[in-house]
Chain A
């Protein structure tokens, strides 16, 4: 059969996407009140968007970037549970002395997911991490792990499912210090989340879901190798085939994007969650990047930003994840004569395991782990 020429690429609203995120960084309308307890995550999606577009330097100024770094560091809290970042100031009293009382230590505590996004955001802003209490963070991660191997988002309370497992693993990987995690127990938990369809549910016995399948897979590949375990080997070949089958099946015929579950509609964020999962499994060529590009371009909002589906309102979460998906799956080379091809290709490459641009990932690897005091000593030894 002769292959059809790919459909023409629409305009890529580069500056519009940056403007959408810049607007959100400045402020959100009261209708967005449901993100009040997770503003740091919103900040990460906005900064991540600017980073992936390569527009952080040109679309923001030095004073703003300095203020944002300062604000993120202000979210650090230390208690008997260790040190971490809280989601923002939605619970924080104006008076500093009040915020340091036991009452607010308990009800304005650090949050595991927010600690992960804080480290990524600071790296995007090229912070030198000289203020990072590394041992405190490790202690915090440890105090979030529960009997069954999972992690709770707050010390002793809050959600606990594969999202928190992923954040604990990503934080440990960034710090290059796994002493806060009982890795084997966590992997046992991850395995209990695997569903008969091939993907992972949000918690044990849950329905296979794109987002948590990414969390499970990325965790298994971030996990340090040990005597009895290499990255990714916690998945058998049969499980791997079943997972690839299910992921590929989620690219929907109707719109060409990925859905998060069987028989659901395509959604821009699942283009990343499912696409990145295939990428991690070494199966990225199996994604149909032509229909993926068509779907994502239809999710572009005319004034910038991406929505979860065509004709919906854009938000920073879907904007960042759409761009991350485009980074992993740029339009195919059959499009190379298209006038818009270069614009779609001109997106920074990302590391799918940490979910950061390669430059930012490099920065993390260099600045987040504890500076080694033994390096010189060791090099003398050998």
Chain B
């Protein structure tokens, strides 16, 4: 392992002869500041030299070293990031090397917004014509890197945003095509990973839609099949049900098309199926039934049908409020009131 530049035994900048020509600039304190932080000597020293180089406008190799040291102590120091980026550009530094250096920093500080923002800037600067074929290998490599980070933290919001940005920026069919199998790998590991479900929606119905897949009915069929399979494996999974609702609403498909499927999940016992119905996979033996989301879905079908079926919806909402989802009793009562008011 290479030694990080924030090693404890590193000399202070004020003790290093190669920094002797820079005048450190102390920080303004004021009389009684709000929430002042008791800085470590290393942080105080490094930021004084940082203010020093800012005051002269210096952009040099050693500024890259200094800003890296500050970032490793405080990755949320956005001015250090900002100045580092400007220095890289001014020095015409090889940005692919910077990207490599940032791989380790990204994994170490993946919860910090700036880490990902910096990568966006680097990728944009490296590939100002993102559609050119020469950009493709780099974008693929970057996707592979993001996948590695998502293995460490599979629900990190910044990492997913960055992946979505990258796909949209390069917008290349070869990038989009791998996304569905990537999502499926993650959902195999954790079918409740809502970020993965969201990403699937983004790829199939959002920004990724324009690529290939012109046959929309076929796509909808595939998505319904996949989602139903995932629900049968783990029925009480709001992410999958939200996705199901999302794709139906997006494609203006009536909920009632799913009636025979949801019927399998609304009684207390798993249904006895003599013939395996691949279109409508049933819940497993160990499933906790009835499934609240299925009851809710069925009630929505009844409500949409209107007329005397509204009463059936009301009965389901009552059972949810009184028995199956008592925590949201007030919500189910509200659904009853709304339905009565509009019928």
In the complex, whether A303 has a CB less than 8 A from a CB of chain B is no
Among B36, B74, B83, B202, the residue within 8 A (CB) of A27 is B36
Q: Is the CB of A68 within 8 A of B76?
A: no
Q: Count chain B residues whose beta carbon lies closer than 8 angstroms to a beta carbon of A.
A: 70
0 or 1 for each of A46-65: is its CB under 8 Å from B? (1 = yes): 10000000000000000010
A288 adjacent to chain B (CB < 8 Å): yes
Choice from A26, A35, A89, A264 contacting B29 with Cβ under 8 Å: A89
When the two chains form their complex, are residues A251 and B327 in contact, meaning their CB atoms are under 8 A apart?
yes
* Best-surrounded residue of B249, B250, B328 (most CB of chain A within 10 A): B328
Contact of B195 among A35, A39, A42, A207 (CB under 8 A): A207
Q: Is B155 on the interface with A (CB-CB < 8 A)?
A: yes
Please indicate the chain B residues that have their CB under 8 angstroms from the CB of A24 in the complex.
35
A293 on the interface (CB 8 Å rule)?
no
B87 at the interface (CB under 8 A from A): no
* Stretch from A133-141, A255-263, A371-379 forming part of the interface with B: A255-263
Interface contact A202-B157, CB-CB below 8 Å: yes
Digitize B327-340: 1 where CB-to-A-CB distance is under 8 Å, 0 elsewhere.
Answer: 11111001000000
Q: Does B193 contact A (CB under 8 A)?
A: yes
Interface presence of A187 (CB below 8 A) = no
Tell me if B37 and A36 are in contact (CB < 8 A): yes
Query: Complex Cα distance A26/B51, Å?
Result: 25
Cβ–Cβ < 8 Å partners of A108 in chain B: 79
A40 within 8 A of B: yes
* Partner pick for A67 among B27, B31, B75, B79, CB 8 A cutoff: B31
Q: Out of B37, B55, B157, B205, which one reaches A35, CB within 8 Å?
A: B37
Contact A1-B328, Cβ < 8 Å, known A27-B37, A92-B27: no
A-B pairs with CB below 8 Å: how many?
Answer: 191
Q: B30, B34, B245: which has the most chain A beta carbons within 10 Å? A: B34
**Is A94's CB under 8 angstroms from B34's CB?**
no
**Residue in contact with B55 in the complex, picked from A67, A93, A285, A288, CB distance below 8 Å:** A93
State the main secondary structure of chain B at its contact with A.
helix
Taking CB atoms and an 8 Å cut-off, the chain A residues in 96-116 that contact chain B are 98-99, 101, 103-104, 107-108
Query: Do B327 and A107 have beta carbons less than 8 Å apart?
Result: no
In this complex, what residue of A is CB-closest to B109?
A: A34
Are B37's CB and A33's CB within 8 A?
yes
Tell me whether B217 is interfacial, beta carbon within 8 Å.
Answer: no
A70 touches B31 (CB 8 A): yes
Tell me whether A157 is interfacial, beta carbon within 8 Å: yes
Q: Report if A37 contacts B (CB, 8 A).
A: yes
Given A28-B37, A67-B31, A90-B27, A37–B54 Cβ distance below 8 Å? Answer: no
Alpha-carbon distance A37/B27, docked complex (angstroms) = 13
Q: Are A30 and B35 in contact (CB under 8 A)?
A: no
Closest 9 CB pairs of A and B: A196-B246, A67-B32, A43-B34, A207-B198, A92-B28, A262-B194, A263-B192, A42-B35, A94-B26
Interface contacts beyond A27-B35, A29-B37: sample of 5 additional A-B pairs, CB < 8 Å, sorted by A? A205-B202, A206-B161, A261-B195, A262-B194, A263-B237
A-B pairs with beta carbons under 8 Å apart, 6 shown: A27-B35, A33-B74, A90-B27, A107-B82, A248-B331, A262-B239
